[in-house]
Amino acid sequence: MDTIDIRDVTEDNIKDLCCVCVPSHKRDDPDWVKGAGEKTKWAVEMLGKWGSFAKLAYRDGGPVGMIQYKPIPEQKIVHIDCVYVPPAECLRKGIATRLVSSLMEDVKKPMAWFDNKRPLGLVTKTFPGEGPGQYSAREFFTRKGFKRIGEDADHLYYPLNAGFVYRPVEKEEATYVPQDEDKGKALIVCGPNGCPVTYPYFLKRMEKYIREIDREVPIRWMDSCEEPEEVRKRHVGVGACVVNARLIEAFVLDKESFQKEVKASLRNE
């Protein structure tokens, strides 16, 4: 039987966290290297801010899965951002369950994030993307006792205190503030983030799909680390795509809708 070891992410194993989601055949690909680098910057910042924000599962000494989370002190909850076990040979072996269970044990104790009290619950927002033989994220968390929040079947919570019912806090969404300098060009915002896939899989895909429509339009890559004020004044974040001073709202994996918006923006329709 395989030995699975769950460890907190520290300075010593941040590299493992940032590489576990990168396919082995992509580890030398420049775009994936950049993606892992962006996650490393994010992870260092998270470790300094929270002290604990992720756990890794190790099998025979190598990382095979992870869980990432963050405290929301003002709501007295811990938000699970992602649980991922990439190797096909590690699926349905209880690794994701071990990761979630380890976090559940941690949050049953008083925590500095919550004035040395325990949080009221765990919250997560699931999304599709399961592979063959995998439970959907929604089914996985539901099997662990998570409950639906309102009408959204993918917004789930797990109460840690008897009688606790999580009620989402409505936040005012920041909207893109148009800049004259963004007219006649495309803008893609990159920078530190919690997923090494963001740069190679999403942002570079945006560039590719824009180029399929217009090979001449200037594309400006804006790094949130190198140009923080430029990002802030636009009220956008990593992953934003602006074309001709319009925010593209369609998800890039919906190629048809994404390119339709890009075309309309370039034509100023």
Contact 242, 221 (CB under 8 A): no
Give the SS3 label for residue 250. coil
* 4-159 and 180-266, same CATH topology: no
How far apart CA 123 and CA 77 sit, in angstroms, is 7
Q: What is the pLDDT of residue 26?
A: 93
Radius of gyration of the CA atoms of the chain, in A: 20
Q: What is the pLDDT of residue 131?
A: 63
* Residue 165 confidence (pLDDT) above 50: yes
Average of per-residue pLDDT across 250-258: 95
Residues comprising the chain, all counted: 269
Enter the pTM of the model. Answer: 0.88
231, 225 contact by CB (below 8 A):
no
Q: 4-159 adopts what CATH topology? A: Aminopeptidase (3.40.630)
pLDDT-derived band at 1 (thresholds 50, 70, 90) equals very low
Q: What is the CATH number of domain 180-266?
A: 3.40.30.10
Where are the chain's structural domains?
A: 4-159, 180-266
CA distance 182 to 85: 40
DSSP 170: P
Instruction: Give pLDDT, residue 127.
Output: 77
Record the tokens describing residue 24, joined without a space: 């082995």
Mean pLDDT, rounded, of the chain: 92
pLDDT in tens, 29-77: 999 999 999 999 999 999 999 998 999 999 888 999 999 999 999 999 9
